[in-house]
Amino acid sequence: MGSLLSLPVIISALELGFIYALVALALFLSYSILNIADLSTDGCFTLGCAVGAQVVIMGHPVLALFAAMLAGVCSGYIMALLQTKLGVESILAGIIVNTGLYTVNLAVMGFSSNLSIFKSDTIYSLFKDVLGNTSYKLVVSIVIVLIACAVMAWFLGTRLGLSIRATGDNSDMVKASSINPGFTITVGLCISGSLTALSGCLIGQYQKSCDINLGTGMVTIALASLIIGETLVGKSSVFRRIVGVIVGSCLYRFAIAVALRLHIPAECLKLVSAVIVAVAIASPYLKSQVAFQRRKMAAVSGGKGGDGAC
Amino acid sequence: MLRLVNVRKVFNAGTVNEKVALDGVSLTVNDGDFATIIGSNGAGKSTLFNCIGGSFYVDEGSVFLDDRNITYVPDYKRAVQIGRLFQDPMKGTAPHMTIEENLALAYLRVAKKKSVFSRISQAERNMFRERLALLDMGLEDRMKQPVGLLSGGQRQALTLLMATLIPPKILLLDEHTAALDPATADKVIELTKRVVQENHLACLMITHNMHSALEMGNRTLMMDSGRIVLDISGEERAGLTVDGLLEKFSAGAGRELDNDRILFSKIE
Ligand SMILES: Nc1ncnc2c1ncn2[C@@H]1O[C@H](COP(=O)(O)OP(=O)(O)OP(=O)(O)O)[C@@H](O)[C@H]1O
Ligand SMILES: [Mg+2]
């Protein structure tokens, strides 16, 4: 293990794990709670990165985070508008918003497909002197992500949070409580958009660059993290589920790090992620199948002399 | 007071599947009225409730609640004053949320003035516990458990509590015990009587049980082919037997009552 994962590799896996956990947290809200497959995630992630990068270039790395989140809220709002006011199905709404965002993102980046923020201060470089050279990126990421998670956990216990949770669970019942499900869906998607964009913004500042294709495949990766977390940590309480999101995201990054250490060529990395995602998503089902087969075997061997022979 | 004036509802208008589900229904339910509703399959009973509750808008006619015209008020807004229970116990509760959280949501109907960012308070929790204890099902000790773990009867009792936690102007019960086993159904019926009486609710209850139809409440409506064919109360209703009721139905509707669930429940 030691030879496979050196300390710098572990640290950078954790850094990425925490930053990307925000996207998984966004999908936790939109997918697990509201039951909406939000395919605008990819574009929204890039949007956050692009908006953040521009504000960083202007010299405001902290403001960049809020600007990115605001952009994410707008993206989520349009997604919700299509669904609740115009009757577009959620999958289609996501695809439409994602397509539109490509142009928006290019525009934000000044119609270039790449933006470098190498010369500017970032949220990370601000804390470099205080926190020391090895762990400053990790500490900053962890702090931001933990704040986001704490706010989310608190929020889901409030009246508004409860109504959002009920919307995905039984929207008839939400109406019976005199709450408009259209409203709760809108709030949920706006929050989820802001988290996705925040993650994009952090990645941009982390890598000191922004690329138009940065978000490609993000929704699958986040979904995998979410499901890895749910499988390993469980989903009995909101707190557990949020912890699961972080654990899942970090584990996914470790898996990728291991793949890289095994000298799997970079071109094959997408395939590796696809396999990890498929395994993660299939594993709860496989687990139940294995348990069932075990029970069946036990029943058959236990009932010897009966019709077990045929 | 609930008032329906000439309500008409047509499904799939202009197609071969056109179905007039409500054909000019007028009805007044006074405060404190408890009316039972029986009728053939497809008579339009559930459609009537859907029009009152706002699941869909009527094609013609109007709906008034306390002289306020609510014909075009969306369902979630009507829910402040109209409580509903359905045949399916799964319909009224959120299975993955705890009993306490479900009650808190139901309580939102009045807690509207409170901030949306406030959480369930200890006082509310105590109040929920007291109210749950009245159900006598031991649910007060399971407040942190997800509702999905409850039996159908427990869920229906909880839904009844949720619908009446803040007494609505009118309570609509659509065969709310039909999916329960007889013993549980009896319990939920007893609970219904008590809740309606204690809160002096106006209540409409669809049932396929002719005995409950006569025994419960102070008024019985019979529906057929989208119309109310019989509306009896007081003296006329007091001495009525099930057979007498069936006779009155055929006289009003011009045919025999055909409802599979009523027939089954008569055999029992
Ligand atoms: N959403 C709908 N779309 C099309 N037709 C409908 C719809 N809802 C009800 N109908 C039709 O309207 C008629 C009345 O239905 P409704 O559900 O009100 O009957 P009901 O009196 O509740 O019957 P039951 O005793 O079987 O519950 C039926 O013929 C039904 O097929
Ligand atoms: Mg019905």
> Where does residue A87 fall: left (phi above 0), alpha (psi -120 to 50 degrees), or beta otherwise?
left
* A158:B116 CB<8 A: yes
Given a contact cutoff of 8 angstroms between Cβ atoms, the answer to whether B105 and A162 are in contact is yes
Which residues in chain A are contacts of B98 at CB distance < 8 A? none
- Asked whether residue A57 carries a pLDDT value surpassing 90, the answer given is yes
Number of CB atoms found within 10 A of residue A101's CB: 24
Q: Phi and psi (nearest 5°) for A298?
A: -60, -40
Which residues in chain A are contacts of B90 at CB distance < 8 A? 170
Q: For chain B, give the percent of residues with pLDDT over 70.
A: 96
pLDDT band per the 50, 70, 90 thresholds, residue A23: very high
**Averaged pLDDT, A65-73:** 98
Given a contact cutoff of 8 angstroms between Cβ atoms, the answer to whether A198 and A65 are in contact is yes
**Averaged pLDDT, A75-101:** 96
Cα angle for residues A148, A151, A157 (degrees, 5° grid) = 140
Q: Is the dihedral of CA A135, A140, A144, A146 positive or negative?
A: positive
> Which tens digits make up the pLDDT trace of B130-175?
999 988 899 999 999 999 999 999 999 999 999 998 899 999 999 9
Strand partners, B2: B29, B65
The whole-model pTM stands at 0.90
Strand partners, B227: B224
**Ligand 1: does its nearest atom lie under 6 Å from the Cβ of B226?**
no
**Ligand 1: does its nearest atom lie under 6 Å from the Cβ of B47?**
yes
DSSP secondary structure string, A186-219? HHHHHHHHHHHHHHHHHHHHHHTEEETTTTTTHH
Task: Identify the CA nearest to A76 among candidates A164, A199, A192.
Answer: A192
* B109:A180 CB<8 A: no
Rounded CA separation A109/A41 (Å)? 18
Domain locations in chain A as residue ranges: 7-302
Within an 8 Å CB–CB cutoff, is residue A175 touching chain B? yes
Alpha carbon nearest to ligand 1 atom 9, residue: B47
Q: Which of A172, A236, A237 to mutate to test the interface with B (most CBs of B within 10 A)?
A: A172
Is A7-302 CATH 3.40.50? no
Which residues in chain A are contacts of B79 at CB distance < 8 A? 175-178
* Domains in chain B: ranges and CATH: 2-81+170-267 (3.40.50.300), 95-167 (no CATH)
Alpha carbon nearest to ligand 1 atom 1, residue: B11
Ligand 1 centroid to Cα of residue A90, in Å, is 29
Burial A60-69 (b: 16+ CB within 10 A, else e): bbeebbebbb
How close A238 comes to chain B (CA, Å)?
A: 10
> B121 in helix, strand or coil?
coil
* A176:B116 CB<8 A: no
Least CB-CB distance to B114: which of A159, A170, A175? A159
Least CB-CB distance to B84: which of A160, A176, A179? A176
Could you give the count of Cα atoms lying within 13 Å of A92 in the half-sphere of its Cβ?
8
Within an 8 Å CB–CB cutoff, is residue A150 touching chain B? no
Alpha carbon nearest to ligand 1 atom 29, residue: B42
> Which tens digits make up the pLDDT trace of B64-122?
999 899 999 999 999 999 999 999 989 999 999 999 999 999 988 776 667 888 888 89
This model of the complex carries an ipTM of 0.87
**In Å, how far from its chain's centre is CA B150?**
21
Q: What pLDDT score was predicted for residue B210?
A: 87
- Asked whether residue A291 carries a pLDDT value surpassing 60, the answer given is yes
**Mean model confidence pLDDT for chain B:** 90
Given a contact cutoff of 8 angstroms between Cβ atoms, the answer to whether A257 and A9 are in contact is yes
> A242 in helix, strand or coil?
helix
Which residues in chain A are contacts of B111 at CB distance < 8 A? 159
Rounded CA separation A191/A48 (Å)? 13
Could you give the count of Cα atoms lying within 13 Å of A33 in the half-sphere of its Cβ?
28
> B28 in helix, strand or coil?
strand
> Which tens digits make up the pLDDT trace of A152-203?
999 999 999 999 999 999 989 999 888 999 999 999 999 999 999 999 999 9
Q: What pLDDT score was predicted for residue A149?
A: 97
Pairing of strands B2-11, B60-65: antiparallel
Q: Where are the alpha helices (DSSP H) in B22-111?
A: 45-53, 75-78, 99-107
Nearest CA in chain B to A151: B117
Q: What pLDDT score was predicted for residue B268?
A: 46
